[in-house]
Amino acid sequence: MSRLYLCLPGMAMVLVLGLMAQDDVIKVDVDLVNVLCTVRGKNNALIGGLEKGDFHLFEDAKEQQIKYFTRETDLPLTIGLLVDVSGSQERLIDSERRAASAFFRSVLRPKDLAFLISFGKDSELLQDSTSSPKLLEDGLKELRLSVPVGGLHPGPVPTAQNQAGTVLWDAVYLAANERLRSEAGRKVIVVITDGVDTGSRKTREQAIHEAQLADTVVYSIYYTDPGAYGGFGFGGSGEGDLKKMSDETGGRVLKVDRKNSLDDLFKEIQDEMRSQYAIAYTPTNPKKDGSYRKLDFKMANKDYKVQARKGYYAVAN
């Protein structure tokens, strides 16, 4: 019989599935820390079929006893797709719309949810959480260029820093805080952008912090139009910020280039999300003091590399 554990850790809610020879039950454990991860080999291929004993998990350099482990790839999934519609992305919006439609059609299963947010001079929820690819496609049709009105110096204080041209960090913060923090199951943000933020009220660090509190993995698709910056390559300045955000939350940056189309990268993300391991443990440090706890994996096979979030905040519900 399958047994369903509803775990309510300090950071988030998550569903952990296991196989037990008993009737279905619901068990509540408020102390569990949940970690989603993928494993890759020397050739960067995803590694499946691993067992609990293949993983050694450390919190602040102290090894933790893994309490629950599953290779189940059908855990409920909530995806937030965030699309940059600022001036630098104007010529890319049509391809983003088409590729995202195909992505939703292929990745969403009946128990999964997805929502759509566009961001430019401000953030806009184009489609709230739904399991309907059709509704998401309708939302994608509403993607429109979003640029500031009134020149370079809007607002009461005429400084370029006040220009809300691409509120990337605000959009990530909004998605994590208002749409994902209360969700159960696996949670993913996919953001398509050139990584340049010009006007967010939230900082990169605040956006990362909120994603970590929401137990959310962030995948960044780095998509640039060199022509938008007059051929000077300014658009490349945001890749480092995206890498920081994705690395800290257990995702990664994927780059659209001559070898990898946007469709290819969506397929990579889809394969990765369906190849995750769900791990849960009760930390040896039980304090809910709001401190940041560093996480590290060591594999029995030293050729394997784990992709997972770098840590979590020990906060009480």
For 126-147, how does the pLDDT look when each residue is reduced to its tens digit (9 = 90+)?
999 999 999 999 999 999 999 8
Domains of the chain: 2-72+276-313 (2.60.40), 77-273 (3.40.50.410)
Both structure tokens of 205:
């660090």
For 56-65, how does the pLDDT look when each residue is reduced to its tens digit (9 = 90+)?
999 999 999 9
Contact 190, 172 (CB under 8 A): no
Number of Cβ within a 10 Å radius of residue 315:
13
Closest C-alpha to 208, from 252, 163, 242, 165: 242
What is the value of pTM for the model shown? Answer: 0.84
DSSP of 192-245 = EE----BS-SS-HHHHHHHHHHTT-EEEEEE---GGGGTTS-GGGGGHHHHHHH
* SS3 state of residue 145: coil
Query: Is residue 1 over pLDDT 60?
Result: no
Q: How much of the chain, in percent, has pLDDT values that exceed 90?
A: 73
Closest C-alpha to 221, from 84, 49, 31: 84
Provide the 8-state DSSP code for 54. Answer: G
What does the pLDDT read at residue 75? 80
Q: Measure the CA–CA gap between 61 and 297, rounded to whole angstroms.
A: 10
Contact 280, 67 (CB under 8 A): yes
Question: In sequence order, which residues have a C-beta less than 8 Å from that of residue 265 and are 6 or more positions away?
Answer: 221, 254, 255, 256
Closest C-alpha to 187, from 84, 278, 293, 58: 278
More confident residue, 238 or 24: 238
Q: Measure the CA–CA gap between 203 and 196, rounded to whole angstroms.
A: 12
* Signed CA dihedral, 87, 89, 90, 91: sign only: positive
Q: Measure the CA–CA gap between 207 and 245, rounded to whole angstroms.
A: 8
Q: Measure the CA–CA gap between 69 and 52, rounded to whole angstroms.
A: 6
What does the pLDDT read at residue 231? 53
Q: Measure the CA–CA gap between 64 and 38, rounded to whole angstroms.
A: 18
What does the pLDDT read at residue 23? 40
H-helix or E-strand spanning residue 299: strand 292-299
* Signed CA dihedral, 149, 154, 155, 160: sign only: positive
Number of Cβ within a 10 Å radius of residue 13:
17
Both structure tokens of 36:
């989603």
Q: Mean pLDDT throughout 182-205? A: 94
Q: Measure the CA–CA gap between 137 and 119, rounded to whole angstroms.
A: 17
Q: How many Å from the N-terminal Cα to the C-terminal Cα in the chain?
A: 31
What does the pLDDT read at residue 22? 39
- What angle (nearest 5°) sits at the alpha carbon of residue 83, between those of residues 79 and 85? 165
> How do 66-70 and 277-281 pair as beta strands?
antiparallel
Q: How much of the chain, in percent, has pLDDT values that exceed 70?
A: 82
